[in-house]
Amino acid sequence: MKVLKFPLSKITIAFVLGLLFATYIHVPNPYVLLALILSNAIFLLLYFFSSNKTSLYFGLATYFFSFIVGVSNQIVHTDHFQKKNYTHNSKAFDESHSIDLTIREKLKKSAFSDRYIAVINCIGEKEQTGKIILNIQKDDKTPALQVGASLRVEGTLTKNKTPQNPNQFNYSRYLENKQIYAQLYADVNQIKIGSYTDKNIWYYSSKLRSRIISNLEKNNFNKTELNVAVALIMGQQQEIAPEIIRDYQYAGAVHILSVSGLHIGFILLFITFLLKPIPNTRKGSFIKLIIILVSLSTFGIIAGLAPSVLRSVTMFSFVAIGTHLRRSVNIYHTLLVSILLILLFEPSFLFDVGFQLSYTALFFIIWLQPLLKTLCNPKTKIFKYVWDILTVSFAAQIGTLPLSIYYFHQFPGLFFVTNLIIIPFLSLIMVLGVLVMILAAVNMLPLFLSQLLEWSIYYLNKIINTIASLEQFIIQDIPLHFYLLITGYLVVFTIIIWFKKPTFTKLALATASLLMMQISYFTIYLNALHEEELIVFNSKKSTLIAERRSNAITIYATDSILKMSDKNIILKSYAIGNLSSVTRKIKLENYIYFNGKRVYIIDSSAIYPRTVNSDILILTQSSKVNLDRVLQNMKPSLVIADASNFKTIQKNWKASCIKYKIPFHATAEKGFYKLN
């Protein structure tokens, strides 16, 4: 691969490895500082006194220095390493305090609360820092909080919950990657809105978006189309209906709802077209460059500075600078510089799924699309245009396929049809949308333009819905282990390298990588084949138990749960993560025997045998049984209370178990229970 021959690529890889090292392995700060000083000293000595800058020693010193810079950069930008971060204030999680906050970003509403990202200023009288999620219970009196608003909230911080069921999406880790370590739940009467407003970049960005949306609403822009327009042009997906997002996912077009390189590329072309009247003199070219850079930066701010937006704005800014300097811009260098710059300022973006998918797609378009393009040579302009769209789509899809399956466990089979239809359509919508947004921002939006954009998005949604309705082409619930993800990419890279310039050595590498992938799969499969476990899930207000032997799952539940088991998200996640499927459904009864152990379930009937011992006792449906008497009679070695019980009654059960020195496991508090 030619890209690996660039020194910048190796420096970037070393820097990223440093970020990963600091994330997963905690090294004391003094040691990191010492390593940074030493690596810097060695690098400078070799730089100034070495006559050969291409020597092995100078290269190793450079990469080691880059690695240590990555480690120190991650530590500096990780909030919980800061002394003033609220995570070091244990009392904030145990007692109620007056917490002063500033609203940073509005999030998608949940069924019961309005949600925001807020920055803590102080807790009680103590100055503190750090981001949290603020949840305000929905109420008729719930205020519409603006970005930049200052609040005082009476409450207790709650740590992010770890996954409550096996193979569940780790929302806690997702938030931690965004430097959010806690949430705050409050009612309206616990909140006091201050008079001070923090008028920073986030405030003005939000105000501008609000003005644009308000002017579009004045023109009677349909709400459904408006929400999609705001996502397409400004990258804000908070108000889009779940069914719309599902349609875009099934059609393989969800990427267009996140502002990325496709959108920024359209905007750059549009601005360049508008600036054509300015002469290409030295002064005129400089004016063009400034206007382009300011326009791209402004758009990035309006779009909320998401990882994909930052990547695209940074990369296309370098392209514009290179064009201004009359230099041939190496796209790989541009890509690498944008990665380095973004991760220097926001290393947490490395763990953002959108960031990973965005860069992977762009890299494969640059690297693989020229190879795919040579497979066919259309003679007419129309077929050439169609072939270009298809090859770009396939290159991006091949590159992102392993990541997409790993994160989302599905594959939209008609992605190429979707892109073939919507990309030409999208280019018109983007040009029209940017024009409409600019005019709406300055209160000069004519009705016919907003209606034209509304109709365009209406028909775009119709096309997407039609493609998404062909569910037989959507492959769902695809399991993919992390080892298969890594070996899968190894296979993709080695095969493409071999296709580009076939040699026996490259063919051998491709074959070896394919063999590694097969070994990984069979190792994972054989491990799962010999596993046996009984799981008591944390299923809200219901009892759900699964017994897995090899890749066959038997579920025990009530009739209502069994009927809907195919759509049960908890069971789906569990089955996918263990390469298994549900083979039997049994109505929940009182006894379950598992590997010689007797499991007894007490439900609302409160019936239990008084003369038979039980190894494990499961309490469900807030049974009014006298637990002290049950423990004396049945003598279980463990008591489990699932999520079908009231919290108040679980406290009494816990006290009884402590009294008789029997372990007590409440799934609502500790998550699922696994018996091997």
CB atoms within 10 A of CB 55: 12
pLDDT value of position 100: 92
165: pLDDT strictly greater than 90: yes
Cα 232 to Cα 422: distance, rounded to the nearest angstrom: 13
104: pLDDT strictly greater than 60: yes
Q: Which two tokens stand for residue 511?
A: 């074959």
38-92 confidence digits (pLDDT tens): 999 988 888 887 776 667 788 888 899 999 999 999 998 888 888 889 999 888 8
HEC letters along 596-626:
CEEEEEECCCCCCCCCCCCCEEEECCCCCCC
pLDDT value of position 589: 86
Return the DSSP state at 165.
Answer: S
301-338 confidence digits (pLDDT tens): 777 666 667 777 877 787 777 777 666 567 777 778 88
What is the secondary structure of 326-385 as a DSSP string?
Answer: T----HHHHHHHHHHHHHHH-GGGGG-HHHHHHHHHHHHHHHHHHHHHTT---SSHHHHH
Return the DSSP state at 129.
Answer: B
Burial of 667 (0-12, 13-18, 19+ CB in 10 A): buried
Q: Are 523 and 548 in contact (CB under 8 A)?
A: no
Query: At 200, which amino acid appears?
Result: N
Residues ≥6 apart with Cβ < 8 Å to 66: 11, 12, 14, 15, 18
283: pLDDT strictly greater than 70: yes
Residues ≥6 apart with Cβ < 8 Å to 627: 619, 639, 652, 653, 656, 657
The angle that helices 223-234 and 447-468 make with each other, rounded to 10 degrees, is: 90
Look at 249-253, 331-335, 461-465, 550-554 and tell me which has the smallest mean pLDDT: 331-335
Cα 547 to Cα 535: distance, rounded to the nearest angstrom: 6
| Among 672, 557, 536, CA closest to 616 | 536
Structure-token match 């195919």, residue found: 566
CB atoms within 10 A of CB 407: 15
486: pLDDT strictly greater than 90: yes
pLDDT value of position 183: 93
pLDDT value of position 137: 86
39-49 confidence digits (pLDDT tens): 999 888 888 87
Q: Are 560 and 465 in contact (CB under 8 A)?
A: no
- Mean pLDDT, the chain, rounded, equals 86
Q: Are 166 and 192 in contact (CB under 8 A)?
A: no
1: pLDDT strictly greater than 60: no
Which residues are registered as beta bridge partners of 546? 535, 555
Residues ≥6 apart with Cβ < 8 Å to 455: none
364-386 confidence digits (pLDDT tens): 988 898 888 888 888 888 888 88
Measure Cα distances from 323 to 195, 312, 318, 341 in Å: 47, 16, 9, 20
Element (H, E) at 193: strand 191-197
Cα 184 to Cα 205: distance, rounded to the nearest angstrom: 25
3-class SS of residue 83: coil
Q: Which two tokens stand for residue 410?
A: 């599905």
pLDDT band at 673 (very low <50, low <70, confident <90, very high): very high
H helices of 469-594, in order, are: 482-500, 504-529, 559-563, 569-577
pLDDT band at 240 (very low <50, low <70, confident <90, very high): confident
Average pLDDT over residues 655-672: 92
pLDDT value of position 142: 67
Look at 125-129, 409-413, 549-553, 555-559 and tell me which has the smallest mean pLDDT: 409-413
Cα 68 to Cα 56: distance, rounded to the nearest angstrom: 18
| Among 587, 582, 535, CA closest to 556 | 587
pLDDT band at 133 (very low <50, low <70, confident <90, very high): very high
Query: At 82, which amino acid appears?
Result: Q
513: pLDDT strictly greater than 90: yes
CB atoms within 10 A of CB 428: 14
Measure Cα distances from 174 to 101, 121, 136, 180, 182 in Å: 22, 23, 21, 9, 12
CB atoms within 10 A of CB 59: 15
Burial of 541 (0-12, 13-18, 19+ CB in 10 A): exposed
pLDDT value of position 17: 94
Query: Domain 86-198, CATH 1.10.3470 — does that match?
Result: no
Counting Cα atoms < 13 Å in the Cβ hemisphere of 305 gives: 15
- The ranges assigned to domains in the chain are 2-77, 86-198, 206-348+415-476, 352-412, 482-517, 532-675
pLDDT value of position 663: 94
Return the DSSP state at 170.
Answer: -
pTM, rounded to two decimals: 0.84
Q: Which two tokens stand for residue 65?
A: 């220095």
Burial of 147 (0-12, 13-18, 19+ CB in 10 A): buried
**The length of the chain, given as a count of residues:** 676
